[in-house]
């Protein structure tokens, strides 16, 4: 059978590799179909990314109600935690539009990595939304960010963080190892240690579909591992149902700790499709059977 060579940019190439590696152990998915849906999701989400007014709002809010979050915020600081899934921008926008009414003059700290901070500067309409909601971005890699978050929470403020951002200042000597879909991932522990020390409640939120916003019950950080595990379990139930809507597949390999120990025999040479990325030197090729990446060997 003749092989059909498909050329991909590096992000789509690595996303496909990571999707295969993550999902090949489960009998629930065709990794290729999940990847195609992921590509469609990335392309369609650009409109949401560029224009905050494009989205008309959620028809259903499940779990903890917005009024309950307002009541918590009226008495103490809190951590609102999301992942880059579905219409995630509108998830945190919807919650904050309601919650900031309790203390409209207070800042909201949005923790982002340096890469995200730089890209957000190009999204002028979203910067206007941040200004209207009194959101201030702080960079996770800066050494002063942890102290600033602590002071803000002590004063009863809100901190917004994306759990899958995976970045922070320095190396984490005691990362948390938590289940993702089939893999175990490394999760930075510093944020959870801080919340534990300050006794700050954690509320997770995710949009399973464009019409529904799901909000977790408050998670009290009495135990660092249990609170992190509870939060990840809240997100994981949605990830398993439809993994194609998670935006960060392209960098998932940077944070995986381990995969299930299952015997496998690579047979990518029998595949009729060949996946190549020539944005790096030397070029690389992807095994659709295993998700492994190899140097590309030109035919003689």
Query: What Å distances lie between residue 59 and 1, 95, 213, CA to CA?
Result: 49, 14, 8
Cα 62 to Cα 161: distance, rounded to the nearest angstrom: 20
Q: Which two tokens stand for residue 61?
A: 């809010």
pLDDT-based confidence at residue 281 (cuts at 50, 70, 90): confident
The pLDDT of residue 223 is: 94
pLDDT digits 0-9 by tens, 90-102: 999 999 999 999 9
The CA R_g of the chain, rounded to the nearest whole Å, is: 20
Given a contact cutoff of 8 angstroms between Cβ atoms, the answer to whether 201 and 157 are in contact is no
Q: Which two tokens stand for residue 241?
A: 């149902």
* 262-282 mean pLDDT: 69
DSSP three-state, residue 145:
helix
Helix intervals (H) in 51-107 = 66-75, 88-99
Write down the mean pLDDT value for the chain.
90
Cα 63 to Cα 86: distance, rounded to the nearest angstrom: 18
pLDDT cut 90: percent of the chain above it: 72
CA atoms 61, 67, 71, 73: torsion sign: positive
The 10 Å Cβ neighbour count of residue 281 is 6
Cα 269 to Cα 148: distance, rounded to the nearest angstrom: 53
The DSSP element (H or E) to which 196 belongs, if any, is helix 190-198
Residue in the structure block whose two tokens are 């709002």: 57
Given a contact cutoff of 8 angstroms between Cβ atoms, the answer to whether 176 and 192 are in contact is yes
Query: What Å distances lie between residue 298 and 40, 189, 276, 283, CA to CA?
Result: 31, 44, 11, 10
pTM of structure? 0.92
pLDDT value at 66 more than 50: yes
Given a contact cutoff of 8 angstroms between Cβ atoms, the answer to whether 145 and 139 are in contact is yes
pLDDT-based confidence at residue 300 (cuts at 50, 70, 90): very low
pLDDT digits 0-9 by tens, 129-156: 999 999 999 999 898 999 999 999 999 9
Q: Which two tokens stand for residue 266?
A: 């690579």
DSSP three-state, residue 202:
strand
The pLDDT of residue 256 is: 92
The pLDDT of residue 269 is: 42
Q: Which two tokens stand for residue 274?
A: 């060949």
DSSP symbol at 100: T
DSSP three-state, residue 246:
strand
pLDDT-based confidence at residue 204 (cuts at 50, 70, 90): very high
The pLDDT of residue 261 is: 75
């Amino acid at each position: 059978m003749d092989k059909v060579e498909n050329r991909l940019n590096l992000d789509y190439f690595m996303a496909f590799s990571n999707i295969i590696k993550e999902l090949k152990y489960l009998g629930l998915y065709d990794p290729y179909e999940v990847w195609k849906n992921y590509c469609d999701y990335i392309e369609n989400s650009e409109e949401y990314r560029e224009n905050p007014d494009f989205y008309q709002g959620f028809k259903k809010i499940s779990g903890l109600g917005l009024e309950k979050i307002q009541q918590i915020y009226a008495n103490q600081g809190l951590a609102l935690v999301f992942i880059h899934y579905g219409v995630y921008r509108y998830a945190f926008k919807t919650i904050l539009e309601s919650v900031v009414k309790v203390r409209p003059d207070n800042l909201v700290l949005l923790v982002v990595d340096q890469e995200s901070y730089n890209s957000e500067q190009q999204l002028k309409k979203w910067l206007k939304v941040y200004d209207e909601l009194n959101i201030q971005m702080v960079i996770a890699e800066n050494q002063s960010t942890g102290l600033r978050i602590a002071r803000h929470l002590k004063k009863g403020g809100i901190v917004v963080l994306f759990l899958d951002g995976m970045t922070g200042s320095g190396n984490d000597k005691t990362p948390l190892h938590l289940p993702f879909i089939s893999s175990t991932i490394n999760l930075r522990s510093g944020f959870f240690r801080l919340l534990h020390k300050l006794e700050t409640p954690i509320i997770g939120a995710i949009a399973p579909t464009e019409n529904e916003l799901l909000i977790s019950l408050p998670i009290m950080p009495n135990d660092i591992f249990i609170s992190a595990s509870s939060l990840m379990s809240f997100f994981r139930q949605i990830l398993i149902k439809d993994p194609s809507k998670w935006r960060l597949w392209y960098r998932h390999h940077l944070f995986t700790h381990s995969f299930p120990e299952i015997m496998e025999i690579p047979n990518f040479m029998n595949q009729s499709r060949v996946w190549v990325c020539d944005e790096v030197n030397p070029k690389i090729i992807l095994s659709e059977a295993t998700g492994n990446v190899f140097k590309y060997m030109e035919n003689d």
